[in-house]
A and B are shown apart, each in its own frame.
Chain A
Amino acid sequence: MWVLIGIPIVVLGFALRFNPLLVVTVAGISTGIAGGMHTVDIISAFGKAFTENRYMGLIWLTLPVIALLERSGLKEQAKHLISKIHAATTGRVLMLYFFLRQMTAALGLNSLGGHPQMVRPLIAPMAEAAAVTKYGDLPNDVRQKIRANAAAVDNIALFFGEDIFIAVQSILLIKGFLEQNGISVEPLHLSVWAIPTAIAALIIHFIRLWLLDRSLAKRFDTQRGGIAK
């Protein structure tokens, strides 16, 4: 039972707002000790996993080029472009991105998106600009909410699109695990059963984005005393 000690440490540490890097490190070391490991082995295991997962840091290589483009007005241009499209609303911009992201992920094109290279420089500014065009300058809490929604759309569309592609990591993991247990399944049979959830994700999130549009309209149209009419 003691090997579970890491779980309450993480939960409490996050809840009490200690620095997450520190919380995770303490949880890892405690788990190792509870599992009867030697301190040197624990630190080595930590280092080994840290080294093997360096690929997670490669995405930051995109920062200089994105920063360069931002210095030359990338976000501003994304905003200009959206402000010219009168039908654009925050919800519709995000719905379009959701649809494209989910479809491309379903074709195995996971790399056509992501937070540093797509959401921060393009999608979030576009979603904000659509609301600014309609309602004028936005209060900070609304800007924050729109940006958070832009990030959420990237995640949801990716998660519930990628499993439709037969060669994605998670499908291969399921197949591999079942095979170890003497059950053979075709990747195609797994990916077919990802389709109903993918459709549900699209419907549920589109409704939520439509509601987001409506809550923006409600808040700002009443404030402006019906000028929008």
Chain B
Amino acid sequence: MISLETVYILAGLMFCGFAIFNLFDKSNARRAVNALFWGVYGVTFLFGGELPHFVTGCLAILLAVIAGTGKLGKGKSDADQPDVAAKREAGAKRYGSKLFIPALMIPLVTLLGTLTLKYTPLVEAKNVTLISLVLGTLVAFVVAVVMLRDSPLKAIKAGGQTMDTVGWAAILPQMLAALGALFALAGVGGVVADLVKSVIPLGSPLAIIVAYTFGMALFTMIMGNGFAAFPVMTAGIGLPLIVNQLGGNPAIMGAIGMLSGFCGTLMTPMAANFNIVPAALLELQDKNGVIKAQWLTGALLLLVNTALMYLFVFRF
């Protein structure tokens, strides 16, 4: 049976592959630092299931320290060489829109796998989407290698160069998840809920709803995701005030409350996988470029959500 651990081993091997290619990249003066970084990350994938959590924790902190030294470098990417640029133009002419086939196979196989594999004993049912994503990637990889008659090793090398463009940002989502776990263990949520309860005016329904929707957005911005903010704000304001005191509809409160949190997700660097990682992937000079493109939509939608909740939550 294919489990999540199986695909973690694959990912671990790939990160170690990135490390090895980095180690032999003479164009990067800091190749040893890069190799260490991706090597350690690879080890957390290969052995994370067996290693004591304390050791993995030390490895995670080591990654943060390596990144913190600012010594992660980047080799000369093959993609910038003129002959490679010519090869790309030639490739586009030669293969035309056939190039889209492997790229589109990733989502299509993921979709098919998600819909069908859960009825088979081949994969862990609860992780079927993630495993299907990896299967889709593998199918696309084989198709691309055969179609383009390119070498798989070169693919991993080129993938590693893209990985170095993303750099430490690749690991930030996982670190933030770890921070969220420590917040939960230390009881941050309860303290914030008490604090919010003590400052909001209990007088008007509008004030309470504004406190709830804006509170959801604000706490999501701090935590980096709406899922962490929802239980805290809903236990603090939503249930006791909107539902119990004012008789609001819990389904409407929950649905629009969560969406208010998503408005916060659009406006915070703490939601690294949505906001910081793509900035690195798209080689934006401004790490907050994606947030700058979307914050206004987020802010306007927060107002819309507040209005929608005020209009409907007491009516249905």
Residues of A whose CB lies within 8 Å of any CB of B are: 1, 3-4, 6-7, 10, 14, 18-22, 24-25, 27-29, 31-32, 34-35, 37, 40, 42-78, 80-81, 109, 111-113, 115-122, 124, 144-145, 147-152, 154-156, 159-160, 163, 169-171, 173-175, 177-178, 181, 183, 185-186, 189-194, 196-197, 200-201, 204-205, 208
Residues of B whose CB lies within 8 Å of any CB of A are: 4, 7-8, 10-11, 14-15, 41, 44-45, 48-49, 51-61, 63-65, 67-68, 70, 78-79, 84, 87-93, 95-97, 99-100, 102-103, 106-107, 110-111, 114, 127, 129-130, 132-134, 137, 140-141, 144-145, 148, 150, 152, 154-156, 158-163, 166, 168-183, 185-188, 191-192, 222, 226-227, 230-231, 234-235, 239, 243, 250-252, 254-259, 262, 265-266, 269-270, 272-279, 281-286, 289-290, 292-294, 296-298, 300-301, 304-305, 308, 312
A173 touches B230 (CB 8 A): yes
A197 touches B297 (CB 8 A): no
Q: Which of B111, B182, B262 contacts A159 (CB 8 A)?
A: B262
19 new A-B contacts, CB < 8 A, other than A64-B156, A181-B235, are A22-B67, A28-B175, A44-B53, A44-B57, A49-B180, A50-B44, A50-B56, A51-B49, A57-B45, A63-B162, A64-B155, A64-B159, A65-B159, A66-B159, A73-B88, A77-B97, A81-B97, A147-B284, A156-B298
A67 touches B158 (CB 8 A): yes
B281 touches A116 (CB 8 A): yes
Complex CA distance for A68 and B10, rounded to whole angstroms: 18
28 A–B contact pairs at CB < 8 A?
Answer: A21-B68, A24-B176, A25-B60, A31-B183, A35-B182, A46-B178, A47-B52, A48-B56, A53-B177, A54-B8, A58-B11, A58-B130, A62-B140, A65-B144, A71-B88, A74-B99, A76-B89, A76-B92, A111-B129, A152-B294, A159-B262, A163-B255, A163-B262, A170-B226, A173-B227, A173-B230, A174-B257, A174-B258
B255 touches A191 (CB 8 A): yes
- Give the 8 A-B residue pairs with the shortest CB-CB distance, closest first: A35-B186, A47-B57, A73-B92, A73-B91, A64-B159, A47-B56, A22-B68, A67-B158
Please give me the residue from chain B that is nearest to A122 by CB atom.
B103
Q: Which of A6, A28, A76 contacts B91 (CB 8 A)?
A: A76
B11 touches A109 (CB 8 A): no
Residues of A near B65 (CB, < 8 A) are 22
Residues of B near A170 (CB, < 8 A) are 226-227, 230, 258
